[in-house]
Structure 1
Amino acid sequence: MLTVLRRRNYGLLWIAQLISMIGDWAMFAALPFFIYAVTGSVMATGAMFMIQVVPSLVFGSVAGVFVDRWDRRWTMIGSSLFRGAVLVILLGVRSADMIWLVYLTGFLESTASQFFGPANNALLPTLVEKDQLLTANSLDSLGENGARLIGPALGGVLLASIGLQGVIFFDISSYVLAALLMYFIRVPEDVAAPAPAEDGSAASALSAFWDEFAAGLKMVTGKPALSRIFLVLGIAALGDSILTVLLVPFFQDVVGVGSAEFGLVLTVRGVAGILGGIAIGAIGSRFKPNHMIPFGLIGTGVALVAMVVWPVFTISILIMILLSVPLMAWLISSQTWMQSHAPGEYLGRVFGVYGTLSALLMLIGMAFASGLGDALGISTTLYFGGGIYILSGLLALALLPGISPAVVEAAEHPVP
C-alpha cells in the first residue's frame, strides 16, 4: 500500500482528500448540535440532513456530464474552493430565525460535492497503474474512516472551546489547503482533455448536453458489466439504508445500552473500517472483484443477521470488527469494478448516475425501514435488511463472474 501512496500525484490527492474530509466530519459533528441548541427542534435538525440529499437526486447525473467535459483536476479544485466560500454564509447565523442560512449552505455545498465525487473517481485511475487501482481505492477508504475518527472529535472540541465560528474556519481552511495540494497534481499527458464544442449557441449547447447525458445512461444500461453491478448495488443500498436507520434503535432498545456505549460502537466501527481497508488493500489484488463483491455482500448480510440473533453488547462489538472485512471488500471492489469497466471519457457520467441512484434508493429504504421498524419491530426489520444484503450477494454471484475484468474491453467495445 505504501508503494501506491508514494506515487507523487496520487499521494497529493490522498492527503488533500484526508484534510478535506477531516474538516467535513468536524462540521458534520458540530452543526447538528448547534442547530438543536438554537432551535430546540428535532425536525429542524433532521431537515439539514434531508436537504443535503436533494442535490444528489437532482444534480448527480447532470454533474457527471460536465465532469466528463471539464478538466477533472480543476473541477475538484473549483468544487473545493466553492464549498469553502459558501461556508462563510454560516457566520451570519445567530438565532433560530436565521437557520434557513444553514439549509442554503448545506444545499450549495452538497451541490458542489456532486461534481467533486465523480471527478475524483474519474481522475484516480489516471494516477495509478491498472494493477494498483484496488489498493488505491482501499487507501481512499482508509482515509475516509480515519477522517471519520479524527474529524468529529476535533469538531466537538472546537465547538465547545471556540464556538461554531471555530469549526467554520477550520472547515474552510481544510478546503483551501486541499485545493492547494490538488493544484500540484500533474495528470499524465496521455490523458486527453475534453474537446470544446465548436458551436457556442445555446440551442446547440443544450442539444449537446442531452446527447452526452443520454450517452452516459446508454453506457450504464447497455453495457452488462455496468448494468449488472448497478442492479446489485441498488439492491444492497436498500439493505444499507435499513441498517443506517435502525442502528441506534437496535443498540438502545434491543441491546439495551446508552449513549456512552453507542459512542464506543461508532469508534469501533471507524477503527474496524480502517483495519478492513488495510486488509483489502493487502490481499485484495489476489482475488478478482467479481468474487470479492459477492463474498462481501453475503458476509455483510450474515454478520447483520448474527448481530440480531445474539443481541449482546460484547458480541455485537466483535461482529462489527469482523464485519469490516466483507464490508470493505464489496465497497472497495465495486468502486474498482466501475472504474475498470467504464471508458475514461464516461467515468464522470457513470459515477454521477450511480450517485443519483444510490441517493434515491437510500431515501426509499430509509422511509421503508422507518415504517416497517414501527410495524414489525426493530429485530424483524433488521433480519429483512440482512436478507437483502444476502440476496444482492447471491445476485452478484450469478451475474458478475461471467464478465471480463479487462479495462481495454470497455474502451474497445462502446455501446452501440
Structure 2
Amino acid sequence: MTKNLRPYLNLIKENKDFRRLWIAQSVSNFGDWFGLLALYAIIGRYSDSEFLLGLIIVVKMLSLALFSPFAGYLADRFNRRKLMIWCDLLRGVAVVGIIFVDSAATLWLAYVLTAIQMMLSAVFEPAKTSSIPNVTSEDNLTNANIISTASWSIIFTTGMAIGGFATEWLGTTNVLILDGFSYVISAWFVYRAVIPQKRLSKEEMYRTRNPFKGIKEGLSYLVKNRHILRPSLAKGTSTVFLGGLVYLLIIVSEEVLMMGSIGLGLLYAARGFGTGIGPIIGRRIFREEKDWVLLMGLAITFCGVMYLVVGVVNSIGLMLLFVLFAHAASGANWVSSTVLLQKRTQDTFRGRIFSTEWLLFTIGNSFSVVIASLILESGIMTVKPLIMVYGGVMALAGILWSFTITPNEKAWRLNTQQGTSNTKS
C-alpha cells in the first residue's frame, strides 16, 4: 500500500511549491464543504421551497459561468499567484457576510454573497489549475492532479460529514465564520508558494488589451485545436446530467431517507470517496494517454447506469455504494480530461481554456438543476423516477460520446503519428 502511494507522497514531500498550492486548495475546499450545509440550513430555515433550495445551486453555477470568460482572460493576463491571494481573501469576506441573513426578508443576501463568492472562484480555479503544470514536471503532472482530486474528495467527504453534524451542534453562524477563516489560511499558503508563469508578450498584451478581444482569441484557439476541444467537453457533457442528480440527493435525504443533514452528509461523503479513488483506478486500467478520451465516454456511461440503480434502491447502504461507484467514474473522467488540457494547451492560453471548460461545466450544471427542481416543484415526477430518467439519459450520452468523439480522437492520433513519421523520413 505504501509502495503504491510513494510517488504521490514523494511529490508532496519534495516539491514545496506544489505542496503549498495543494495545502491552500485543501484548506479552502474543506471550508467550502464544511459550510455548504449551513447555507442549505439557512435557506431551509426561512423557506420551505424546493425551488429556492435548488436556486442556490443555480446561482452558484451561473455566477461561475457568467464570469468565467472574463476570469480566464485575467488568469492569462495577470499574475496568477496574486489573483489567487486576493480571491481567497475576498471570498472569506463574502462567506462571513451570510451570517447577517436573519429572516425571509433578508434571504436574498445569501444569494448575492454566494454569487460574489462564486465569481471570485471563477478566477481562482482556472488560475490554480493553470498553475499546476508550472510547479510540477510533465512526468509528475498526472500524479499532481490525482493528488488534487483525491484530496478534494477526502476533504469533501470529511467536510460534508463533519459539516452536517457541525451545523446541528455549532449553529450556522459559527460554521460560516470557520469557513471564512479557511480562505485566510489558503491565501497564506499561496503567498508562500513560488509559481512560475509564462507571461504574454508586449505585443500580445497590447493586442488583447480589450478583454473581449482576449476572450475571442481564446475561443478561436480552442475551436481550431480540436484535440484540445475534445477533452474540454468531457466535464460539461457529464454535468448536464450529474448536476441534477447531485441536487436530487438533497431531496432523497429529506423525503426518502428522512435523515436530513446527516443523511445528505453521508451521501455526499460517498460521492467524495468515489471521486477520490476513481482517478487511481482509471489510471491503472487505462495506462496509456491515447485511451483517455475513450475512458471519458465509458465513465459517463457507467456513472449514468450507477445512478439509474440509485433510483431503484431504497436502502441507505445500497445508495451509498452506488453513489460511490458513480462518482468514481466521474472522478476518472475529471482527472483524465484535466491532464490532457494541461498538456495540450500552451501556458498563455491555459487560463482561458480552463475558464471556458468551467463555463461549459457550470452552464450544464445550472440547466440540469433548474430542470430537476422545476419538475419536482410542478409535481410532474417524484424524486426516485426522476433520478432514473437522468441516469438513463446520461448513460446514453456516454454511448453517443463513444461513437462520435472517441473515433475523432483516434483519427487525430493516427494523423499525428503519420505526420511525425513523414517529418523524420
1:3 to 5, 10, 14: 10
Equivalent residue letter for 1:82: L
Structure 2 residue 35 is the aligned partner of structure 1 residue 27: yes
Q: Identity rate of aligned residues, in percent? A: 22
Matching residue within 324, 329, 337 for 2:332: 329
Whole-Å Cα distance in 2 between the matches of residues 41 and 369 of structure 1? 14
**CA–CA separation in structure 2 for the residues paired with 1:267 and 1:278:** 18
TM-superposition CA deviations, 1:68-114 (whole Å, max 9, x none): 00111111111101111233423433333222322221111111111
- Deviation track 1:160-185 (CA, whole Å, cap 9, x = no partner) reads 44433312221121111111011111
> Which of 336, 339, 343 is equivalent to 1:340?
343
Amino acid in the other structure paired with 2:360: L
Matches within 5 A, 1:273-288: 273-280=275-282, 286-288=288-290
Counterpart of 1:192 in structure 2 is 198
Please name the residue that 1:398 is paired with. 407
Q: Distance in 2 between matches of 1:391 and 1:309?
A: 24
Cα deviation, residue 246, structure 1: 4.2
Task: Please give the residue correspondences for 1:8-407 in structure 2 after superposition, counting only pairs within 5 Å.
Answer: 8-39=16-47, 41-188=49-196, 191-195=197-201, 208-247=210-249, 257-259=257-259, 264-280=266-282, 286-288=288-290, 289-305=292-308, 307=310, 315-369=318-372, 375=380, 377-378=385-386, 379-404=388-413
With 130-139 and 240-249 compared, the bigger mean Cα shift is at 240-249
CA deviation after TM superposition for structure 1 residue 341, in Å: 1.4
1:400 aligned counterpart, secondary structure: helix
CA pair 287-229 structure 1, distance change in 2 beyond 3 A = closer
Bigger Cα displacement from structure 2, 318-327 vs 212-221? 318-327
Letter in 1 for 2:393: F
Report Cα offsets for 1:252-279 as digits up to 9, x if no partner: 88xx644366654333332232332443
Offset, 1:40: 5.0
Distance 1:20 1:165 in 2: 18
List alignment gaps of at least 5 residues for structure 2.
1-7, 415-425
Alpha-carbon distance in structure 1 between the residues aligned to 2:286 and 2:136: 16
Deviation readout 1:374-410 (Å, 9 max, x if unpaired)? 65743344322322233234433222234459xxxxx
1:120 offset after TM fit, Å? Answer: 0.7
Query: TM-score with structure 1 length normalisation?
Result: 0.83
SS at match of 2:367: helix
Which amino acid is 1:385 matched to?
M
Structure 1 residues 375, 319: closer, same or farther in 2, change over 3 A?
A: same
Partner SS, residue 210 of structure 2: helix
Question: What is the CA distance between 1:321 and its match in structure 2?
Answer: 3.9
- Does the Cα contact within 8 Å between 1:293 and 1:396 map onto a contact in 2? no
Q: Quick one: which amino acid aligns to residue 199 of structure 2?
A: A
Which residue identity is paired with 2:332? A
Distance 1:369 1:107, change over 3 A: closer
Structure 1 pair 276/164, CA: closer, same or farther in 2 (3 Å)? same
C-alpha separation in 2, matches of 1:251 and 1:90 = 24
Q: Secondary structure at the match of 1:186?
A: coil
Change (3 A) 1:267 1:192: closer
Q: Which residue of 1 aligns with 2:420?
A: none
> How has the CA–CA distance of structure 1 residues 389 and 106 changed in structure 2, closer, same or farther, with 3 Å as cutoff?
same
Cα gap change, 1:244 to 1:128, in 2 (>3 Å): same
* Contact map agreement 1:243 1:385 (CA 8 A) in 2: no
> Structure 1's 146 and 98: CA in aligned 2 closer, same or farther, altered over 3 A?
same
SS across alignment from 1:22: helix
Which region of structure 1 is more displaced relative to structure 2, 262-271 or 61-70? 262-271
Q: Could you say if the C-alpha distance between residues 19 and 249 of structure 1 is closer, same or farther in structure 2, counting changes exceeding 3 Å?
A: closer
Aligned AA for 2:105? D
In the TM superposition, what is the alpha-carbon distance from 1:8 to its structure 2 partner? 0.9
1:294–1:42 distance in 2 versus 1, CA, 3 Å: closer
